[in-house]
């Protein structure tokens, strides 16, 4: 019999349809200021040991996109002095094409008791929430990184501080052209169950007793003659 989905099931169904959408498939309108605020609030709800919020975003507004395009072009020339005009044009388009463009910066707190790897995990969780929130609001989004994220000159031009890391650029907008469907991946590719085989024998168990370490043997499993 047909059953109406619950609200939670509908939300999960939306999440299961999330796809990264290339900037060339996006158009205006982009999220407005209130929507962007809500998207970032979703990022702030990510798991965060110590409440450190070890990340931040830089918004590149339309009036500054040409300046950003120049920075991208110069970064490309530093990396490849013989870059073709086509390559330079493509670099500039990376700064101007997306309806909304954000830089995602990881900002680990060096003097915190929270290990750096946990802070990176928290930043990654926040980034996932940001992408999912944009999708929930009906927008397409993608994170693109590449070699430019490792360029120290570009990082300083964008205001990335020493000790921070430019992780990537988030593009958001209205989906003009749907992306290809995601390739189906089975949960079993990332899902395993620990069997406890590495556990040492329990002090109560005789050393010679067969069976899984740390587990008593049922009477029906005792060896003949025991």
* DSSP β-bridge partners for residue 57: 104
pLDDT (tens digit per residue) in 40-79? 999 999 999 999 999 999 999 999 999 999 999 999 999 9
- Give the separation between CA 191 and CA 113, rounded to whole angstroms: 31
Domain extents in the chain: 15-175
Give the pTM.
Answer: 0.83
Return d(Cα 170, Cα 161) in angstroms, integer: 19
Query: What integer is the mean pLDDT of 94-105?
Result: 98
The pair of three-digit structure tokens given for residue 145, joined into one six-digit string: 């990184």
DSSP 168-206: EEEEEEEESSPPPPPPP--GGGS------TTSPPPTTS-
Beta-carbon count within 10 A of 193 CB? 5
Half-sphere exposure of 62 (CA within 13 A, CB side): 5
Instruction: Domain 15-175: give its CATH superfamily.
Output: NADH Oxidase (3.40.109.10)
- Using omega within 30 degrees of 0 as the cis cutoff, is the peptide bond preceding 29 cis? yes
- Name the residue with higher pLDDT: 16 or 30: 30
Q: Is the pLDDT of residue 5 over 90?
A: no
Instruction: Dump pLDDT digits (tens) for 165-190.
Output: 999 999 999 999 988 888 889 999 99
CA 202 to chain centre: 42
Which of the four pLDDT bands, split at 50, 70 and 90, describes residue 207? Answer: low
Higher pLDDT, 113 or 226: 113
Three-state secondary structure call for residue 59? strand
């Amino acid at each position: 019999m047909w059953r109406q989905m619950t609200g939670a099931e509908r939300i999960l169904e939306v999440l299961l349809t999330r796809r990264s959408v290339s900037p060339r498939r996006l158009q205006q309108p982009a999220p407005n200021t209130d929507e962007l605020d809500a998207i970032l609030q979703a990022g702030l709800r990510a798991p965060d040991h110590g409440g450190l919020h070890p990340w931040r975003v830089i918004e590149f507004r339309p009036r500054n996109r040409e300046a950003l395009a120049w920075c991208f072009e110069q970064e490309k020339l530093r990396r490849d002095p013989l870059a073709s005009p086509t390559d330079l044009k493509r670099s500039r388009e990376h700064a101007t094409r997306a309806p909304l463009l954000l830089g995602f910066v990881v900002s680990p707190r060096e003097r915190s008791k929270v290990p750096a790897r946990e802070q990176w995990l928290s930043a990654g969780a926040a980034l996932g929430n940001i992408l999912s929130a944009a999708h929930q609001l009906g927008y397409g989004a993608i994170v693109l990184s590449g070699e430019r994220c490792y360029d120290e000159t570009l990082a300083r031009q964008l205001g990335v501080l020493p000790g921070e890391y430019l992780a990537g650029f988030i593009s958001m907008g209205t989906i003009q052209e749907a992306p290809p469907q995601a390739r189906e991946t089975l949960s079993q590719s990332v899902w395993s169950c620990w069997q406890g085989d590495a556990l040492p024998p329990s002090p109560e168990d005789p050393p010679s007793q067969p069976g899984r370490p740390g587990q008593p043997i049922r009477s029906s499993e005792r060896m003949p003659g025991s």
